[in-house]
Amino acid sequence: MNRSTIDLWVGAFVVAGFAGLLFLALKVGNLASFSTSQVYQVQAKFANIGGLKVRAPVKSAGVVIGRVADIRFDNESYEAIVTFNIDSNYQFPRDTTAKILTSGILGEQYVGLEAGGDGVMLKSGDRLRLTQSAVVLENLISQFLFNKAAEGKPEAKEPAK
Amino acid sequence: MRVADFRARLERVGSTVTSVVWRVGFASRFLSYMVLHSGTALRRFHLTIAEIYFAGVLSLVIILVSGLFVGMVLALQGYETLQRFGASESLGVLVALSLVRELGPVVAGLLFASRAGSAITAEIGLMKATEQLSAMEMMAVDPIARVVAPRFWGGVISMPLLAALFSAMGIFGGYIVGVQLIGVDAGAFWSQMQAAVDVRNDIWNGVIKSLVFGVAVTWIAVFEGYDAPPTAEGVSRATTRTVVTSSLAILALDFILTALMFTGGNHQ
């Protein structure tokens, strides 16, 4: 086989290989959708973040508008400091509420933002004041049992009267 | 008597260990010599291009067909399991993540070792057995620079491209079976896949894996060929050893790389 045929085949092979990589990056991965846009950083303190992880989505009205960039423990308040990167196309009022929510019953946890009514918008480096922690199943169950027990007590005493 | 017996056994263990260490050291020196003397392979790049043709282009058919079928089988099997949990829309995630992270690099690497690695070993071994390498040395041509290095670089360049094509083809196969045959919603298939597959964590790590496997397989192949005893039996044994050793190397390296890459806990 002569050299130009080999060159042609190798050229086609290399182009096809890179096309495969491009397909993986654009169509299979999330390169096209998110990482190129400008972001601003906002922090929030949570008493409990549950199973939230770095790179978890930040959603508002169900639409992904950012990602969790960093999770740290604050040694003074004993709370978690979560930093989000929010796409700068989306602006939020300063009194926005951040909640840690779960998608589905067993789904991944994400941060939900609910816009407030303030006229001033969030800037990079701001901190959200209103937060709601993750629901911990054990606490929920113990609360429920405690309530049940508290309800049950007077009724249990009644026959004794 | 028993002391002598024990001593003989201990000596056998010692000689095995020494010969293994010696062989690894020889292979490492061979690799560094080859990399240092690959100027010819890069300057006269058509030598390397011809090897990319033999190692890469000629492996395309088996890589593409295997990728397609692995993807289709993954979709069938994954659907069976996922639908029990009512999560059949996650089929795309399952197919894409298993291909991009693991199956693409590993299966493409195993196929590459048996399709191209064995051919490289047999070719170099036969060149040595028929004294073509010695003839080159007689003409003051360094056989490592002229014969071995182009094959090494050809394999190293081909492998990541083959793995990427394998994964892409597998996802296409998963799409055909999942969406076209079974009827999973196409929008959910692609969008959940895009939400779950990260370019740096998953795709880029897969590319790094395939590059590492490419270096390991071609290194083992050229070394076994160059080191083969110059007899028919020696070449056949070296070819077998290439396939066995490089397959084991791929599996071991895959475990190490996976442990390093995917246990950081920072991804979903």
Distances (CA, A) of B53 to B67, B160, B177, B225: 20, 14, 32, 19
* Cβ-nearest to A28 among B161, B197, B266: B197
pLDDT score for A105: 67
Question: Residues A85, A39: contact at Cβ < 8 Å?
Answer: yes
**Pairing state of beta strands A39-46 and A126-128?**
parallel
Q: Residue A83: is its pLDDT beyond 70?
A: yes
Question: Percentage of chain B with pLDDT > 70?
Answer: 98
Mean pLDDT across chain B, nearest whole number? 90
pLDDT score for A155: 56
Q: Give how far B65 is from chain A: nearest CA, Å.
A: 15
Q: Residue B90: is its pLDDT beyond 90?
A: no
The tokens describing A41, both together, are 């950083």
Average pLDDT over residues B190-216: 88
Range list of β-strands (E), A3-159: 39-46, 57-60, 63-74, 79-87, 97-102, 109-114, 126-128, 130-132
Average pLDDT over residues B133-162: 91
Confidence of residue B189 (pLDDT cuts 50, 70, 90): confident
Average pLDDT over residues A54-83: 87
Confidence of residue A55 (pLDDT cuts 50, 70, 90): confident
Q: Residue A140: is its pLDDT beyond 90?
A: no
Q: Residue A19: is its pLDDT beyond 60?
A: yes
User: Which of A111, A64, A118, A81 shows the shortest CA–CA distance to A96?
Assistant: A118
Q: What interface predicted TM-score (ipTM) does this complex get?
A: 0.80
Q: Tell if the CB–CB gap between A31 and B46 is shorter than 8 Å.
A: no
Chain A residues lying within 8 Å of B46, measured CB to CB? 3, 7
The tokens describing B143, both together, are 């056989």
Q: Residue B67: is its pLDDT beyond 60?
A: yes
Q: Tell if the CB–CB gap between B168 and A23 is shorter than 8 Å.
A: yes
pLDDT score for B173: 94
Chain B residues lying within 8 Å of A65, measured CB to CB? none
The tokens describing A123, both together, are 């800037």
Question: Percentage of chain B with pLDDT > 90?
Answer: 66
Q: What is the 3-state secondary structure (H, E, C) of chain B?
A: CHHHHHHHHHHHHHHHHHHHHHHHHHHHHHHHHHHHCCHHHHHCHHHHHHHHHHHCHHHHHHHHHHHHHHHHHHHHHHHHHHHHCCCHHHHHHHHHHHHHHHHHHHHHHHHHHHHHHHHHHHHHHHHHHCCHHHHHHHCCCCHHHHHHHHHHHHHHHHHHHHHHHHHHHHHHHHHHHHHHHHCCCHHHHHHHHHHHCCHHHHHHHHHHHHHHHHHHHHHHHHHHHHHCCCCHHHHHHHHHHHHHHHHHHHHHHHHHHHHHHCCCCCCC
pLDDT score for B109: 95
Chain B residues lying within 8 Å of A6, measured CB to CB? 49-50, 53
Helix axes B205-227, B104-112, angle to 10 degrees: 20
Q: Tell if the CB–CB gap between B198 and A29 is shorter than 8 Å.
A: yes
Count CB atoms within 10 A of the CB of residue B73.
15
DSSP letter at A158 equals G
d(CA B120, CA B126): 10
pLDDT score for B79: 92
Q: A34-38, A61-65, B70-74, B93-97: lowest mean pLDDT where?
A: A34-38
Burial of B136 (0-12, 13-18, 19+ CB in 10 A): middle
pLDDT score for B267: 44
* Cβ-nearest to B194 among A7, A30, A53: A30
Confidence of residue B210 (pLDDT cuts 50, 70, 90): very high
Q: Residue A26: is its pLDDT beyond 80?
A: yes
How much is the pTM? Answer: 0.75
Q: Tell if the CB–CB gap between A17 and B162 is shorter than 8 Å.
A: yes
Q: Residue B268: is its pLDDT beyond 50?
A: no
Q: Tell if the CB–CB gap between A25 and B199 is shorter than 8 Å.
A: yes
Nearest chain A residue (CA) to B189: A28
Mean pLDDT across chain A, nearest whole number? 83
User: Which of B94, B84, B257, B259 shows the shortest CA–CA distance to B175?
Assistant: B94
Confirm or reject contact between B10 and chain A (CB < 8 A). no
Confidence of residue B38 (pLDDT cuts 50, 70, 90): confident
Q: Residue A29: is its pLDDT beyond 80?
A: no
Q: What angle do CA B36, B39, B41 make, to 5 degrees?
A: 115
Average pLDDT over residues B238-257: 94
pLDDT score for A36: 56
Nearest chain B residue (CA) to A24: B168
Confidence of residue A48 (pLDDT cuts 50, 70, 90): confident
Q: Residue A159: is its pLDDT beyond 70?
A: no
Q: Residue B21: is its pLDDT beyond 90?
A: yes
d(CA A117, CA B69): 55
Q: Tell if the CB–CB gap between B197 and A30 is shorter than 8 Å.
A: yes
* Cβ-nearest to B164 among A6, A24, A54: A24
